[in-house]
Every structure is written in structure tokens, then in C-alpha cells.
Chains A and B, each alone.
Chain A
Amino acid sequence: MTREVWITGIGLLSSLGEGPDAHWAALSDPSFPDPILDTQTCAPCPVHPLAAIDYDRQIPKKGDQRQMEPWQRIGTYAAGLALADAAVAGMPELLAHTHMIVAAGGGERDVAVDLALVHDLATANDPAAALNARLMADLRPTLFLAQLSNLLAGSISIVHGVRGSSRTLMGEEAAGADAARIAHARIAAGQADLALIGGALNAVRQDLAMLYGGSGTALRGPWRPVWQRGENAGFAMGSQGGFVVLEEARHARARGARGLARLVAIGSDISRPGDTAPAEAIWAGMRAHRRPGTLGVISGATGAAPVTDDEHHFLASLAAEGPIAVRATGTRLGHGVEAAFPLNLALAALALGRGGFYPPFEPGEAPADAPVRQILVTGFAARRGQALALLESLDQTGAP
């Protein structure tokens, strides 16, 4: 049994603001505006900070806000936007069978405590023994839950009432792609009718700059568009919340929900840097769904090496099959790691729902020469994993 899966709601939060209108307006600006960057806080790594957000609008209780670190607040807020966009928010009977898969990273460390302990203990005679007393005294008891990976999903349940099921995937970019893949598969196979998937990243975190700087994937020094980083490769983290409501088509029609796009196919696989075979195999499995005309590509290209070149090669082979128009959202929004793939799914659904597409985000990206009715979302993870999702507008019916 394979059932049709629609996207019926999107939640977007980034340096460009919140919601579909702000993102559509900002991303439709053809003048290659400068990115919104913070080059100081996580120096030497530039990051894209979140726009000013009034969290009260989606997380009304201050007590709930206080019990979340910023990445949980970003995600809980974006999830609320998606549920509202799908007209699921505040509908207990729908929320009771909304199945949630969140892609989460690590909790945010209290960098002040980290530094204070390094200052005081690095030269201690017995740092291991002294560490305990300092951690007992200095760690905020509430911090643990505020940064625990599965407590983004837990907070979404508490704040928005999602309770069908709750799973949290981890593992950087692949977690976001696998969350969408598994939710799509569950709906297509009849294991669920309604799902909420997504992720969140607070980019303005020195502890993450240390993690990704060490692993060789973070950008250091001057910023350039993702396709132009050359020797100075790396991703600039972007604060993002990206959530998507997936729904079985008849379920959506029966409740009069508006569909934004059809999620035709999605695949993900393990990969090694320098190898595009996984993406080629995934594309081979969905190529039959491609229709004539220009294929939009919402690329999750990170700017890291060598995976950005890998994707470039993959897209060149895709272009040989027919016209494509590539937009790397990382140039405008930075890289959201776990949030990246869900955010890009949301941006693809936004364009298809509005019957348009985005102008180039940098001079190297070509304008679309025809209306875009299908979009391929790509995720070539900085360290591991490749994923593709094919979406199309709902006015496309029948087999290609």
C-alpha cells in the first residue's frame, strides 16, 4: 500500500524572520543582499543569528520558556508555527494522532561555567576531584532538561499538545533527513495519517563552534556564498527552526486542510565524503517521477569540503538530464545541521504552494527559465549522509 503524502503546514524561523511571508519576501529579493551575520560571538567562526522573536506568541507561558535553552525555544516555536499553518494547532483530536519525529543535536552548554571551571581547575593539583564540587555548585539543576536532546520533542508535547508519538533522532544532518523519510514512509504505508517533523539549531554557540571546528566542517574567517568558498571551505551555522506537517492526502481533504505540496519521494543513505554514489542511487529510485520542465533544486549545500564539490558534481549530472535551477539556502540562511533538511523541505513547499520559485541567491546560480512545478531538496551532509526529497505542486496530477 502506498498512499499520497502532502505537506499541509510549515514552520519557519531563521535570521530572516519567522513564517512564510517573511521568508518568501526576503528570499524573493533578487539583489543578492548581504547575509545577516554575527562574526564576533563565535569568532573565528561567522554564524547567522536568529531574527528578534517574541516567543510569547507560540510559547505563552514564561515558565515553559524558562525551562528551555534557546535551541528548544526555537524548535518549539517553529513547531507551533507549522501546526498552526496546518490548522492542527489547538485541535486535540488531531494532536492525539499527530506523530512527531524531531531531529535534535546536543544540548547547549553553559559556557560561563565551562570557562570558570577551566580557569580554576586547569592548574589544580587534583582537577578530577575538584571538578565534582564545582559542578555540584555551579551547574543549574534545570539546565540538564533545558538542553537534553529529546526535550525539544517533550516541550512540543507540553506546549502544543502533540501526543500521538514522540521520537527524537540524532546524528547531525542525517537526523533531519531521516525524520522526514521515516514519517513519509509511515504515512505512505498506513502506519500514520498525520506527522510533525523538524529540527532546530541555535547557531550562536561557542561550544558548537568548538565541536564543528574540531571536526573540520565549520567555516573560519571571511564569509562567501556556499558555492564560492573554495579553499576556505566550511559551513556557517545558521540559527533555524524548520518544521513540516506531513499528512495523508485523503486525511487532509477530509478535514478541508490546504495542501502546499506533494512529497513524492524521499531517500537517504550513509555516505563518505568524495562519493556521490548514494545520492545517484537515491535519484535513480525517484527519477521516474520527474516531469518535463525545469526542476527546482533547494540545495542544502553546506560550503564544507569536499561534500559541496560532491553535490556540485551530482547536480551537474542531474542538469544533463534536463533543466534545473539550483538555490543553495545556506548562502542566505546558513547551515542548520539537524534543522537543515526539514527547513529546506519547508522552503520547497512554500514555493510550490505559492506557484513560484526563488531568484538566484548568488550570481553563480542561474535564473529558472520556466515555471518550477517540481523541486528536489538535497542534503549532502558535512560528515555523513546524503538525502534527496522530490516535491511537486498539487496541480500536477497523474503519472509524469
Chain B
Amino acid sequence: MSETVVVTGMGVVTSLGQGRQANWAALMAGRCGIRRITRFPTDALRTAIAGTVDFLPQSGDTAPVLTEELARLAAEEALATAGLGTPGHFPGPLFLAVPPVEMDWRIRLSIGAGCDDPAHLGYDDLINATWRHSELTDPFLFGTIAQSLADRFGTTGSPVSLSTACASGATAIQLAVEAIQRGETDAALAIGSDGSITPEAVIRFSLLSALSTRNDTPESAARPFAKGREGFVMAEGAGALVLESLTAARARGATILGVISGCGEMADMFHRTRSSPDGHAIIGAMRNAIEAAGLTPDDIDYINAHGTGTPENDKMECLGVMSVFGDRATSLPISSNKSMVGHTLSAAGAIEAVFTIETILHGRLPATINHEPDPAIPLDVVPNTPRDATVRHAMSNSFGFGGQNVCLIISAAP
């Protein structure tokens, strides 16, 4: 029997604000953090809205700088809650979900502007202009943020950076849970962070036709499970969780916020951006998670949906829920935080795990705002108004491009 893994600290930053309290209040008020993008010009963009985090000094800086700051803030809140270790000495490894971000366009363009004949610049000139200028390139090495956070928080061992696209945050938790279950460590710090709203990132998703284009009504642009949904809205934020073995947490008298009672995964081999039409990998990931938790579908009281608001995701997630939960599916509450915070990409799985635990702790289900019924989705999406409910076991879904499917079962403290 492997160790039970519990959550003893958590922190969150989104476009709704900084900290658990501010975010929960906003979620309960049905507020939306999505707005017009102001940090760069939106000329010629099909999508000009996002759930950007605009209230930090780093908000206009490059993506890795903002991503690191978001992660730092979430982690500091999580560590303060947990009260584990001492400042600069966290007794466990770091698992960090981060966006794979390439060099900022401002750097390339400033090199061009600074040379005599930019019209005939070659890539060798770019190589020479940045040679040994690590201040320009180091933020874009993928291991930089994790090393910086590992140094700051004094985590143990090799800090792990990871990406499983939109499932990354859940994968960070999953890797941490597995390390504790193996007995490698009593504690781990799992973070998902994403501050990557840049022109090229928005355009890449836009060219895949993945984004909502409701630029005139940003607050109602994220429409998970709703009729007429037409894409997700990119967003920024971070979620951090301190995970511990139940034994270690009890031994030190820690307050247990929740339990990660099961992780389930199944890779889809059908298509780069679409689920297998029969939904078997989504279904398999859900069933694997429930089984890993030693539960049955009847034990699940609430689902924190992946619920992106793309036609494809929500249809397939609905199919998966209907298959796994059968007759209960239409009465089992399922809501999408993305209706309010947008899709925080690499951070989503971690942020939504934090919100799922808040849901259990408060006994209140956040709504799916902007909801208009879609006859093809006969689920109880907690439309537009939050409501009270006792949640003993919840499922949090994360699905990503590349066939990534991760489901977490999150339970109330024992």
C-alpha cells in the first residue's frame, strides 16, 4: 500500500488577483478576469483578449520573467500555509510546469535596429550579436526558472521542469505524488505557472483556430459547455501545492487541506490536437484515476472540468463523463473555472487543483459563467450561479495537445 499524499499548503495567482482569498471571492462572485490585451498592440490580431495578469511589476517583461514571478508568488503563499521547512530550505523536490518559450521578439528586433544594415542581416549576425550575452538568452533556457526557484526555496535534488501542454500543471502534481508514494521524499513542491501571453503565442494559437474571437465582449468570451462556444481564451497565472505524505503531515501536526487520492493518465494516439472519437483515452484516464483512489464513479461528488470552451474539448469531455458516470452523469455537478480565469495553459492543472480543494473546503461549487444550454451537453455545469454542496471526492480533469490526459481525484481531509 503506497503512502497517502496530502496537500498542506497552496497558493494561487490569476487574472482575478493574487492569493487564495482574492481568487475564491472573485470565483464566488462570478467575476471574470478576461479583458482586452493592453501589454502589446493588438493590430491585425483575430483575438485581442486574454486573462493577462497585469498587476505585477513584471507584467510587461518577457514571458519567462513573468512566469517565474507568478510561480514565486504562488509558491510563497503555499509555503506560508504549510509551515514546512525553514525559509530557503524546503525539504523536498520541485516539480515545475512551465511554458516552452522562445526568445522574445523585442530582442531580435532590437538587435536589428542596432546594426548598420538590418535589411541584410544574417542569422550569423544574430548569433554574433548575442554571443556571450547570457542576460539576453538565459531566460529562454528551459531549466532557468526551475533553478532559480530551487535556489530561492532550497528544494532538494534536481529541479524538474516539465511540459505536457495544457495538462502540465496536473502532471507536476502527479510526478510529485509518485515521488512521495515511492518513499523517495516526505514532501514535494508542485507548481504550474504560465505568463506567456506574447504576440507570437497568441498568434500561434490563433492560427490553429483554437481561440475565441469575441473581442468586443471579453468577460463573456470564455463559454465552456455553452451553445455557441467557439474557442478558449488564453490566460496567465500560477498554482502551487505543498504535498506531503499523510504520515509526515500528521507527525508534525500539519493542517491537512485535502488529499490527492488518485492520479490517472492515458495517452491518446489518435491525433495531435483531437481526442480519439470514441474518447477512450479520456475515459481511460478518468477510470484510472478513480481506480487509483480506490473508489468507484459513484463516490465522485463533483468534477472540476478541463472545460476550455472549444467545441471539440467540451464535446469530448462530455462524452467521457457520460461514459464513465452513466446515469449519474446528468446530475453530477461539473463546472469550469476557465469561464472566469480563462485557460492558464501550463498552469491550469495546478490552479484548478487549488480551486478544487477550495471547493471542498468551502462546501460550495464555483459556477460555469456565461452559460447557455447546449442540447448536445446534458450535464449539470453549475450554470451561472455557485451553490452549496458537500464534496467528499472530486475529479479534476486536464487534457492537452499531443494526446495528454491526466485526471486527479482530490478528496477531503481524512
Contact = CB atoms under 8 A, between A and B. Distances in A.
Contact of B127 (A44, A175, A215): A44
B374 interface: no
Interface string B30-59: 000000000011111110000000000000
Most chain A beta carbons < 10 A, residue from B43, B46, B281? B43
Most chain A beta carbons < 10 A, residue from B136, B140, B141, B204? B141
A61 to B, nearest CB: 12
Interface string A303-338: 000000000000000000000000000000000000
A136 B121 contact: no
B239 to A, nearest CB: 18
Interface in B134-190: 134, 136-138, 140-143, 146-147, 150, 157-165, 171, 175, 178-179, 181-184
B203 A148 contact: no
7 contacts: A111-B123, A115-B123, A136-B44, A154-B404, A182-B160, A207-B123, A214-B132
B402 A154 contact: yes
A212 B132 CA distance: 9
B38 to A, nearest CB: 12
Size class of the B contact interface (CB-based, 8 Å): 35 or more
Interface in A135-159: 135-136, 139, 141, 143-145, 148-151, 153-155, 157-158
Most chain A beta carbons < 10 A, residue from B101, B108, B113, B123? B123
Pairs A-B, 8 closest by C-beta atoms = A154-B402, A122-B112, A214-B137, A171-B143, A122-B118, A170-B142, A133-B44, A166-B267
B182 A168 contact: no
A172 B206 CA distance: 29
Nearest to A205: B123
A191 B288 CA distance: 13
Contacts of A114: 108, 123, 126
Interface residues of A, number: 85
Nearest to B106: A128
Interface in B390-408: 400-404
A51 interface: no
Contacts of B123: 111, 114-115, 206-207, 210
B378 to A, nearest CB: 29
Interface of A: 42-45, 67, 100, 104-107, 109, 111, 114-115, 117-123, 126-133, 135-136, 139, 141, 143-145, 148-151, 153-155, 157-158, 161-172, 174-175, 177-178, 181-182, 185-186, 189, 191, 206-207, 209-216, 220, 268-270, 383-385, 387
B113 to A, nearest CB: 5
B272 A166 contact: no
A11 B164 CA distance: 23
A135 B203 contact: yes
Contact of A129 (B43, B132, B182): B43
Interface in B185-239: 199-200, 203-208
A170 B402 contact: no
Nearest to A112: B123
A122 B184 CA distance: 52
Most chain B beta carbons < 10 A, residue from A118, A135, A178, A207? A118
